[in-house]
Amino acid sequence: MKKKHPNSERDATPSKRVKKKDPDPEPKSQGGAEEKKLFQRLWSDDNEIELLKGMLDYRAIHDSDPAANGAAFYEFVKKSLHVEVTKAQLVDKMKRLRKKYSNNAGRGKKERLIKKGLELIGQQKRLELEERWKRVELAELQMYVTQAELIRDQASLILEAYKGQLCSYNDLLKDVPQMLVCYMASLMR
């Protein structure tokens, strides 16, 4: 057994830690504690615009891609942003903005080409093409409805299967006492 030393430092401090009280406690709302924001947006729309402008300015001044030398671009643009970000956050944001642009630009080019091309076609042919486009859009919408119905039907079947498993599991639990009685009776024979 260990002996207690009455003069040791351990005896002088309490055995349990005491919670420190917040010097400026905030009043709680009537519905409970205030909800904390789990996610706060780092890049505002203004900051994204400033970043894009900075990318254009950097390319015009240095005649090189801002992504090619991230450190130099970071130093170039960080003062114009209204938020403090790391170099890694800046590079990641540039990649995501480029991807977003390329995805949207690809769609827009096709649509602009089609619309410009329709202006060159005669009235009768244009009406025929527009009618065909309407049929394609209608077919796409019908396919979307069919897909949604299929998802609903599949989800319903899965739900029923889960309910069935739950019921059979509950029935099995109800039969456990009866099985124990039978088992105990067989042991006594």
Amino acid at 123: Q
> pTM of whole model > 0.85?
no
Q: Which residue has the higher pLDDT, 18 or 78?
A: 78
What are 157's two structure tokens? 């079947």
Question: How many whole angstroms from its chain centre is CA 3?
Answer: 58
Q: Give the side-chain half-sphere CA count within 13 A for 179.
A: 6
Output the average pLDDT for the chain: 75
pLDDT in tens, 131-158: 898 898 888 888 988 888 898 899 889 8
Q: Which residue has the higher pLDDT, 53 or 31?
A: 53
Distance CA 66, CA 55 (A): 6
Alpha carbon of 108 to those of 89, 96, 105, 111: distances in Å?
28, 18, 5, 5
**pLDDT digits 0-9 by tens, 16-35:** 555 555 454 444 444 444 45
Closest to 77 in 3D by CA, of 56, 103, 106: 56
